[in-house]
Amino acid sequence: MASKSVNKVILLGRLGKDAETKFTPSGLSISKFTLATNRSTKDQSSGEWKELTDWHNIVVWRTDHVANFLLKGKQVYLEGRLETRSYEDKEGQKKYFTEVVCEAQNLVLLGGGGREGAEGGGDYSQQPVSMPRSAQRPQAATAAPSQNDDFNQGITDDDVPF
């Protein structure tokens, strides 16, 4: 029996800096940035709640259509996987670097934050801003085809065997 494993990360947070976008020799865009997520914890000695911030290194492939919107303070939702790389520093010590890697279709820009609002904040009443249609995964068609559509051959849902 084959073993199964899962490597999936889901994050909702704010960019810690403007994304740095570069291109591979083959022309693929890759954007890197840090993402801050917050959590609350109760101090055992004082009983007070403290807000803690975790920082994540993010790498997003194929960001051609969204790179200009990846600005410091912008809130994003993303799904990706953890990847750990290693390298040797100047002293010959082996260092490890873990980052979240995702594709642009798994990144959603949300309203608020960024340059349009105050530092680290923004107008949260804005509608979410999503990627352009050309960068998103194709969605199933919900509307019925028109009568003059070349693909409309009188086939209905009842004709499909599954």
What was the pLDDT predicted at 3?
86
Which of these, 123, 99, 130, 121, lies nearest to 30 by C-alpha position? 99
What was the pLDDT predicted at 142?
44
Residues of the chain with pLDDT under 50: 116-153, 162
**CA–CA separation, 131 vs 138, rounded Å?**
12
Strand partners, 120: none
Instruction: Give the Cα-Cα-Cα angle 84, 85, 89 (nearest 5 degrees).
Output: 135
Helix (H) or strand (E) holding 80: strand 75-88
> Could you count the other beta carbons within 10 Å of the beta carbon of residue 46?
8
93 to 17, 88, 98, 99, 116: CA distances (angstroms): 28, 5, 16, 20, 43
What was the pLDDT predicted at 5?
94
2 to 5, 81, 136: CA distances (angstroms): 10, 21, 32
List, in order of start, the domains of the chain with CATH numbers. Answer: 9-139 (2.40.50.140)
- Model-wide pTM > 0.85: no
